[in-house]
């Protein structure tokens, strides 16, 4: 199986821009579905694409939850909360 970076997925630096967050998540999910990756592997593979602030956040989060098995839904919910995706999305919808 190709490495996650080899399937043209981009790294995520930790920007708190709703457009960047949304685009990054949508692109990742599309690519992962294309290669038929097992859902159990999604978190491990996707977190390899986190760098800078995002990587630091993930390392702290992973240590805090070391006794748990994190699903993609868990990761996505915490990621979106951390990077204010829903708050920005709500504000954008209200101002539209």
- pLDDT single digits (tens) 64-86: 888 888 899 988 888 888 876 65
C-alpha 60/C-alpha 28 separation (Å) is: 22
Identify whether the C-beta of residue 46 lies closer than 8 Å to the C-beta of residue 4.
yes
Can you give the pLDDT at residue 91? 52
In DSSP terms, which residues pair with 50 in a beta bridge?
Answer: 12
List the structure tokens of 15. 């920007």
Over residues 79-96, mean pLDDT: 62
Write a three-state SS string for 37-54.
CCHHHHHHHHHHHECHHH
Asked if pLDDT for residue 52 goes beyond 80, the answer is yes
- The residues, ordered by sequence, that sit 6+ positions from 89 with a Cβ below 8 Å of its Cβ are 18, 22
pLDDT in tens, 7-50: 556 788 888 777 888 888 888 888 888 888 888 888 888 888 88
Identify whether the C-beta of residue 39 lies closer than 8 Å to the C-beta of residue 29.
no
Q: Which residue has the tokens 């690519």?
A: 31
Can you give the pLDDT at residue 1? 45
């Amino acid at each position: 199986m190709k490495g996650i970076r080899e399937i043209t997925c981009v790294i995520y630096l930790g920007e708190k821009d709703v457009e960047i967050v949304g685009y990054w998540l949508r692109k990742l999910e599309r690519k992962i579905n294309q290669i038929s990756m097992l859902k159990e592997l999604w978190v491990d593979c996707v977190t390899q694409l986190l760098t800078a602030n995002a990587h630091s956040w993930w390392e702290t989060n992973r240590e805090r939850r070391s006794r748990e098995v994190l699903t993609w839904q868990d990761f996505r919910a915490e990621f979106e909360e951390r990077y204010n995706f829903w708050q920005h999305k709500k504000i954008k919808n209200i101002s539209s």
